[in-house]
Structure 1
Amino acid sequence: SKNVILFVDELHTLVGAGGAEGAIDAANVLKPALSRGEIQCIGATTLDEYRKYIEKDGALERRFQTIIVEPPSKPEAVDILKGLRDRYEAHHSVQITDKAIEAAVELSSRYISGRYLPDKAIDVMDESGARVRLKSMTRPPDVKALEDEVGQVNKDKDEAVAVQDFERAARLRDRADKLKKKLDQVQKEWREANKETQGVVNEEVIAEVVSKMTGVPLTRLESDEAQKFLRIEEEIHKMVISQDEAIKAVAKALRRSRSGMKDPNRPVACFLFLGPTGVGKTYLARALARFMFGDEEALLKIDMSEYMEKHNVSRLIGAPPGYVGYEEGGQLTEKVRRRPYCVVCLDEVEKAHSDVFNILLQIMEDGRLTDSFGRHVDFKNSVLIMTSNVGAEVIKNQAGVGFRRASEEQTYENMKNQLMGVVDRHFRPEFLNRLDDMIVFRPLNRADLKSIVHLQLAKVKDRLHGHKVELVVAEEALEFLIDKGFNPDFGARPLRRACERYLEDPLSEELLRGKFKGCKAISVKVKEDHLEFEGIPAEPAPAAAPPAEPAAVAKT
């Protein structure tokens, strides 16, 4: 029939379909009819599958006119969703606002990678309608309370029958009947109210759904995100002690990216953290993951000392075809593909083989990487942080040994300039030129270590809440922990070990012995070369007033 158009979805599946031994496949069955113009046919397939199946069969390819269908623009996607809105409203029994449709297109374009419009925006709209519908179907608290009460009364009635208390069982039966009638009435009113009032899908629901689909915290999708980025220093300083210059440099780069003044085809930021061990380079990366994405699990940490050999480089993007581990994917590409919103921390990057930097150049410049399967992995929504101990001796020598600050003649900027000379000799210019900033961390002084001890003690106090006791640490005990826990060659890490050795270990033994039972607090003081723990007893409850003696009655 000339009035019929045959549409074949997934056209590439015709190639080889039904092609058993001695038979021809479906594609070859269609070729004569297509060449004579007897049927009108439209086929749809993806570019990859067209190249893999259709292009190889030149006779089949020339019988079709190729038309590349590009994804629609955002305004076109909004119009498409408005045309589909009636169907989804009827299916989910909800109302979808115009603002919700615009938000679905905008947020899906911005936060959902690897898919195209209008498909991903339609999915967001569909899931949002289902979410609102499910919320409206959730039983209200009064219905649930009545159901629980009916269940408890029936249970009491069965127990009364079991002990042959039939009079009480009869009363409970009557009460259960009344409650059941009341429950039926409340449920009927609730169902009628649901029929009359439809749920509304608005921008807030769309934001919740996109947040759930991508793992990006909800606050990043709300309008107050800009205010949050203005408080970066304040928020990160709650987690990271000192390092003002480093935090300021990170904050400036992140604000530049968030305001739209940065190239959208590059990662959010690319940093090289420099400084001696134990001064907070990796900890700042962890704090950044918690600040930007609401979860420390958003930190992808890779130890680059595992990539010192040339053959280890393939582990980042996956083994090539034919090699062991090809199906597993790359350690870097696979994790970023699963969670594109993350902080990628490449620890001790100076230890990696030089071929690793060729891969990093592509990430830093184009914001993407091609894995062993040929898939493009998007790094445009991730923060790339590389830490290095190159030039650590320069910083240590300038800061001096112990706790004194650098001399006035040698300012922080001069120390930084000396360190840059070491970095320039170690890393290639094309690598350094693609960084947003090279951030130098200062060695920690005594005041910084005291603040770190306070953070460690706050964690111990939180753990003691389960024992219902407070921890009171004397000033001399703080100084004792700092003296025992600081090593100029290892930074603040020994401080954590000192807290475990001198505070947590003996305290846990005393708790297990039951030494602090009935105490409201534990006092920590220094005695010789160790810490001494003393329980502060809880105040006894006020004694009850003795009963008044009866008044004497005079006899007449």
Structure 2
Amino acid sequence: RQKQKERFWGKVSLGQSTSFGSELAYGSAFVLGKYSEDLSKKAIGGGSNFRFVYGNEQIRQLEVVLSRGKEANAILVGEDGSGKMDVVLDFARDIMNGYINPALQHKRVMSFNTKSFIANMRSKQELETALIRLMNDAVKAGNVILVIEDLPGFIRSGLALDSDVMSLIDPYLAGTTIQVIATADNARYHQFIEPNNAIMQRFEKVVLTEPAEESLIRILEEVAENTERRNPIYFTYPAVTEIIRSAQNYFTDGVMPDKAIDLLVELTPSMLSRGGHLVKKLDVLQFVREKTNIPVGNITEDERERLQNLEGLMHDLVIGQEQALDVIANAMRRARAGVRSMNRPIGTFLFLGPTGVGKTETAKALATVFFGNENAMSRLDMSEYQGDDGLNRMIGGMDGTPGVLPVMLKEQPYGVVLLDEFEKTNPKVLDLFLQILDEGIFHDAQGRQVNGRNTIFIATSNAGAGEIREAMKAGVELETVKKEIIDKIIAGGKIKPELFNRFDGIILFHHLRQEDYEQIAVLMLKKLQKRLREKSINLIINDAVKDAVLFHGVDPDFGARPMTRAIQEVVEQKVAEKIIGGKLTQGASLEFTYDDFPELKTLQSVSVSPLDEALSQIPSEPVVGSPQPPTP
């Protein structure tokens, strides 16, 4: 660069000086100058990182569009931080240096400060008068390329004063006297620009996509070098590449290279505060783990033990269903070992079976054991999205209304998403999940990419429940008729065959055994016992209260699902009456007897257990999926 300055006669140096003749040839944009910045003068300084990262493609696209005979306007579309204004600045620099189509020589790139302009307007009339004067002034100058940063924001600001600014500038866009470069992020482009055919006809879209990995490494190396010059810290090459990889895989907001640069900048003070001066790959992984709570980096001894015993830990919460637990545990180990594809979700499973046999409980158990908290599971009732507005509610609307799934994944990018009653949703929503289950990403209604690659998706369905029941009555092992059951579901049109193929595992859930119901009752009563213990009341769990729950809480068609309501209506109600009546105080013990449940006496007289009465038509083969009480 110093040698370039010394060679004042060179093309680049001469190009950076405006000739006396060109000053006389074009007019001055006095009004525009009040609300704009001359990027042509700013471009005389050092170059941006854009060309270094992306290359010349978008800059050349601008040159082609703006060299047209009419409607020579372009709109740059990309996420915030993708370098839209860097493209414009490098374009202005090419004009100054003479590396441009002759039709664009001597042009001045003026950035219109729309925020300052709007802030000074007090009425619709004042805004429209000033805007027309500004546009006329730019036309009279004869060599202005006008830059409108955040065009959708400018349109919205005008509407706040009841003014349609696009209708005012449209005649200028259609003519040949001025060229316009506008910018927009993906969301606002899809919301405000794309639906407007009049605007779309005036602008050629130029899209900024994320740069290639080689370019990202080069820019991160430069950022690392700048950081090293300012701080007593050094980055190894593996650390730089890991920063890029982690930013892409574990941070959902923002775009590259901004995400990687932000990660490097945040990592620096964290390392220095711990006395570290040499950043290695493991340091990056440790920082990512602390920031995101995602288990990356070396596996600790505690984590190793938990991973090796996932099946056993889940069996403490779920009875049976060895196949389901084995498939899930193996997927979790692959994910943690780093051998899974990072371009897909952690795992995708379809649980098929009757209501109330533990499909949801299995998903909760996975969240508890692998992610450390049952709250790591988010649930979507897919039957709520079967209407015509189902897709809009799922991914958001064109009016800017956020979609439930993008919000869910943004708030909890690492966890379990339960898609309950999957087959009952709108076909368009099912088509959306064709992409999500395969690639782990999708776009919301505003065009923003949503990342679900750090998520486990579990879909549940009652489809095939009748076939499962018939197979069990016939004493047939379900695995032997699994394909037949799936084929019947496909033939019924509930789930497409290509959707079945997107799941890592399809698991059939059996009906519950009689002893499973007893254990579920004990488990739920223990939860009530724990809540009462917090009030210094000791609930004694005996056969009487257990039989009452089983009598009221078991339904052959709904499995164990009614049991929660039974505990509320049969047990909690009696506890509440005793507390309110002053018969049960803090420090007391409560033990129910069969006298408290008259409905059980008839069964006792004929020596029939409450559970036998409720389950007289339930098969006795070993089954799966019921919650198991913890060890007392």
Shorter chain as normaliser: what TM range? 0.5 to 0.7
Pick 1 or 2: higher relative contact order, CA cutoff 8 A, min separation 6: 2
Deviation at 1:341, TM superposition (A): 1.3
Deviation at 1:25, TM superposition (A): 8.5
Show CA shifts across 1:406-437 (max 9, x none). Answer: 55x42232453442232232322211112111
Q: Provide the residue aligned with 1:449 in structure 2.
A: 517
**2:524, 2:435 → 1: CA distance?**
40
Show CA shifts across 1:13-65 (max 9, x none). Answer: xxxxx97756598687728x98xxxx565134597996899565459746387
Show CA shifts across 1:251-295 (max 9, x none). Answer: 233333333443321111111111111112223223322333333
Q: Of the candidates 477, 482, 499, which is equivalent to residue 416 of structure 1? A: 482
* % identity of equivalent residues: 27
Q: Provide the residue aligned with 2:227 in structure 1.
A: 84
Task: Report if the CA contact (8 A) 1:525-1:531 is conserved.
Answer: no
Q: Provide the residue aligned with 1:339 in structure 2.
A: 412
Unmatched segments (≥5 aa) in structure 2: 7-11, 14-27, 69-87, 101-207, 601-632
Q: Of the candidates 273, 277, 285, which is equivalent to residue 351 of structure 2? A: 273
Q: Residues 374-389 of structure 1: matches in 2 within 5 Å? A: 374-389=447-462
**1:231, 1:386 → 2: CA distance?**
24
Q: Provide the residue aligned with 1:121 in structure 2.
A: 263
Show CA shifts across 1:136-168 (max 9, x none). Answer: xxxxxxxxxxxxxxxxxxxxxxxxxxxxxxxxx
Show CA shifts across 1:185-216 (max 9, x none). Answer: xxxxxxxxxxxxx6999999977753453243
Q: Provide the residue aligned with 2:107 in structure 1.
A: none
Q: Of the candidates 523, 527, 537, which is equivalent to residue 591 of structure 2? A: 523
Task: Report if the CA contact (8 A) 1:99-1:202 is conserved.
Answer: no
Q: Of the candidates 452, 456, 462, which is equivalent to residue 530 of structure 2? A: 462
**2:371, 2:431 → 1: CA distance?**
28
Q: Provide the residue aligned with 1:479 in structure 2.
A: 547
Supply the AA of the counterpart residue of 2:385: Y
Task: Report if the CA contact (8 A) 1:286-1:296 is conserved.
Answer: yes
Q: Provide the residue aligned with 2:427 in structure 1.
A: 354
Change (3 A) 1:335 1:29: closer
Task: Report if the CA contact (8 A) 1:472-1:523 is conserved.
Answer: yes
SS of the aligned residue for 2:413 comes to coil
Q: Provide the residue aligned with 1:247 in structure 2.
A: 325
Q: Residues 132-151 of structure 1: matches in 2 within 5 Å? A: none
The count of aligned residue pairs is 435
**2:497, 2:341 → 1: CA distance?**
21
Task: Report if the CA contact (8 A) 1:394-1:418 is conserved.
Answer: no
Task: Report if the CA contact (8 A) 1:88-1:129 is conserved.
Answer: no
Q: Provide the residue aligned with 1:393 in structure 2.
A: 466
Unmatched segments (≥5 aa) in structure 1: 7-17, 133-197, 321-325, 400-405, 533-556
SS of the aligned residue for 1:314 comes to helix
SS of the aligned residue for 2:476 comes to coil
Q: Residues 477-556 of structure 1: matches in 2 within 5 Å? A: 477-517=545-585, 521-527=589-595, 529-530=597-598
Change (3 A) 1:309 1:235: same
Q: Provide the residue aligned with 1:236 in structure 2.
A: 314
SS of the aligned residue for 1:270 comes to strand
SS of the aligned residue for 2:570 comes to helix
Greater alpha carbon shift after TM alignment, 434-443 vs 473-482: 473-482
Q: Provide the residue aligned with 1:291 in structure 2.
A: 369
Deviation at 1:482, TM superposition (A): 1.3
SS of the aligned residue for 1:478 comes to helix
Question: 2:506 aligned with 1:438, yes or no?
Answer: yes
Show CA shifts across 1:517-547 (max 9, x none). Answer: 4755322222273599xxxxxxxxxxxxxxx
* TM-score normalised according to structure 2 size: 0.58
Supply the AA of the counterpart residue of 2:292: T
Deviation at 1:103, TM superposition (A): 8.1
Q: Residues 114-193 of structure 1: matches in 2 within 5 Å? A: 114-116=254-256, 118-126=260-268, 128-129=270-271
SS of the aligned residue for 1:265 comes to coil
Supply the AA of the counterpart residue of 1:383: I
**1:53, 1:26 → 2: CA distance?**
24
Change (3 A) 1:235 1:102: farther
Deviation at 1:241, TM superposition (A): 3.5
Q: Provide the residue aligned with 1:3 in structure 2.
A: 5
Change (3 A) 1:516 1:102: farther
Deviation at 1:349, TM superposition (A): 1.4
Name the Cα RMSD after superposition.
4.5
SS of the aligned residue for 1:3 comes to helix
Q: Provide the residue aligned with 2:497 in structure 1.
A: 429
Change (3 A) 1:364 1:100: closer
* TM-score normalised according to structure 1 size: 0.65
Task: Report if the CA contact (8 A) 1:219-1:225 is conserved.
Answer: no
Supply the AA of the counterpart residue of 1:434: R
Q: Provide the residue aligned with 1:302 in structure 2.
A: 380
**2:343, 2:420 → 1: CA distance?**
24
**1:199, 1:263 → 2: CA distance?**
32
Q: Provide the residue aligned with 1:15 in structure 2.
A: none
SS of the aligned residue for 1:273 comes to strand
Supply the AA of the counterpart residue of 2:414: Y
Change (3 A) 1:519 1:345: closer
Supply the AA of the counterpart residue of 1:504: E
**1:282, 1:231 → 2: CA distance?**
21
Deviation at 1:488, TM superposition (A): 0.9
Q: Provide the residue aligned with 1:143 in structure 2.
A: none
Question: 2:47 aligned with 1:42, yes or no?
Answer: yes
Supply the AA of the counterpart residue of 1:330: G
SS of the aligned residue for 1:327 comes to coil
Larger Rg: 1
Q: Provide the residue aligned with 1:146 in structure 2.
A: none
SS of the aligned residue for 1:463 comes to helix
SS of the aligned residue for 1:387 comes to strand
Q: Provide the residue aligned with 1:541 in structure 2.
A: none
Deviation at 1:388, TM superposition (A): 0.9
SS of the aligned residue for 2:355 comes to coil
SS of the aligned residue for 2:593 comes to strand
